[in-house]
Structures are given as structure tokens and as C-alpha cells.
Amino acid sequence: MNIKLDGIFTMLAPLSHIGMSIGPDSYLNTVTIIDPHGKPCEVFCYTGNAWRGQLRDMGAKYLLNKLGAKLPLELFYLLFSGGAIGGTQSIDIDQGRRYRQVLPFFSIFGGGVGNQILPGKMNIGPSYPMGKEVQHLLPEELRNPEAKSWKTWTTEQSFTRKDDAKDDNLAKFLQTAQERAAITGELFTAEEKPKKEKKDAPQQMRYTQELLAAGSRLYHRITLKDFTELELGAFVSCLTQFAEAPYIGGQSRKGDGLCSLDYEMTIDGEKQDFVTVHPEKVLPSPLAAEAKKNYDRFLQDMYDNYLIENKQDLVKLMEAGVQ
């Protein structure tokens, strides 16, 4: 199957994706594009590399949770980071095919094994806010002639980090000089202090982040090339794992980056809904009941069963490591 997926992130919380920092302040990542009038302009970009890396991590977690396996370091890097080129192994096409057969997930993303590169089957484009600057880059049915500039969707948020060591209410939890000396044996009088005493790094500070506001929508396209049904099931597993914590960008610890995600599929020239991700749920479109059954089969009946039935061979291949 050759499939195109048109995806839209809808931000349910502000999005942080840093491109530049100046002192304590950070700013959104931007790239230069040519606007509808033929002039260069800057727009925010959530990179395809960032989303691809997150999907790879999600698929690897799903796979290893199903197998209950732990990996040698080389295989860990292969699944989560794509591996690296190096080592003594020569190019082995048969081994590459075995990796593809036993690991549909790895076949999607590809990676470096020994001194050979196994190409992946998925291309992921950048995500742009659907403002007026990028209307000509969107599918025709998504264009909005009344769209405002993406710059009106940005906001700034400032934070303060206090120095807890200066909080009297917390002083009882902090070692005194005498208590520290009892442990380290280092207690100096004023005259005995070293001339170059290390200064404590400042703990109290105020910093500001530029964010894309909640409610913003970002468009991207994914191309799936020559996919098998098992590989499609593996791709859906990435989205299933992502739905457990659907955050993109940085600062998720503060709640930033929470989103929903909608994909529309184009296959054989026809468009249909593919999958929708809401927090903690992956839902096939209600308009495509038959597609829902297929996705469930890929993920549950076919992909899960394939992992279980081939667990012994897969773990053996993993435990062998990358020579």
C-alpha cells in the first residue's frame, strides 16, 4: 500500500518548540518559506524530525511492552534512535530482510545496522500553523482565505524559580556547615577558607517562553511507501502509545503540548478518515466503520498476534545484538 496521510494537530494547551534562546528567554522555532505573494517570510515550524522521533519512541515502547524484553545497548539505540553506522559487520542483505520481517516497526523507520543503512518507509513533513502565510501549502480543502497571521497565535509566558534554600520554612531540611563537616571532614575557619571558593549557582531566576497558543492548528503530511498490513498495524501502535500521553514539543511537565490529532488517508486516489487521537484514546472515524475494523485488526488481531507468535525468534535476534 502507498498511503498519504494529511494530519492536523489541534493544540489543547500552549505549544513550546524552541528554536533560539537569548539569556533566560526562549523563542519558537521558525523557518523561512515563500508566502503566497512570492515573498520570503518566517513561520513557526514543528519539525518533521521531532514528530518522527517521538513516533519512533512510541512504537519501540509499544513493541517492548508487548514482548516484555530488555535489550542490549546496541539494540536499544537501534530501536529508539535508529542505531549508528560502524563496526565490523559487512553489508548483509539477508540479515536486513530478517530485521524487516521480524520487526515491522523497524521496517517503517529504518536505521543503521553494522555498516549498512536500512531505509525506512515513511516520510514525515514539517507541521506549520494554518495561518495566512501557508495557505498555498495546504491541501485545497483546508485553505481559508480569511486566515489570520500565525503571529497572532503566539503568546509569552513568564515563570519564576525561587531559591528554596532561602526559605526559612525549609531550613530544617538543609545541612549546616557543622553537619556537612561531620560527613566530609571539611570545616574551615574564616582564615583557612580556600582562596578560590566555588560560588553557588544562582537558583532564583525569572525566565520567559514564547508559545503557540492553545487552539492553534498545525498541518503536516506523512507518506507511507509500500506498506504491508503488519507495517500499518505497527504504525497504528505508535499512535496508540502516543494517545496515553498526547503531548508534543517541550515543557510537557508543565502541561504544555497537550493536543488532539486527526489523520485523513489518501489511498488509490480516494480520501477517507484514518484515525483520530484524543487524550488517552485512539478512535477510527465514525464515518468509516469498515476502516475501524481494519485498524483494530492490524493493531490487535494481526500485529499483536504476530508479536506473540514470533516472540522467540524476535528475542533471539535482539539478544544477538548488532555485531
Cα 272 from chain centroid (whole Å): 25
Q: How far is CA 157 from CA 30, 32, 164, 209, in A?
A: 18, 25, 22, 5
Spatial neighbors of 269 by CB under 8 A, at least 6 apart, are none
Q: Output the pLDDT for position 310.
A: 63
Give residue 175's pLDDT band: very low, low, confident or very high (50, 70, 90).
Answer: low
pLDDT digits (tens, 9 = 90+) for 194-234: 544 445 555 555 667 889 999 999 999 999 999 888 888 88
Residue range 92-102: mean pLDDT, rounded: 67
Give residue 302's pLDDT band: very low, low, confident or very high (50, 70, 90).
Answer: very low
Q: Output the pLDDT for position 305.
A: 63
Cell of 225: 511507501
pTM over 0.85: no
- C-alpha span between 155 and 50 (Å, rounded): 22
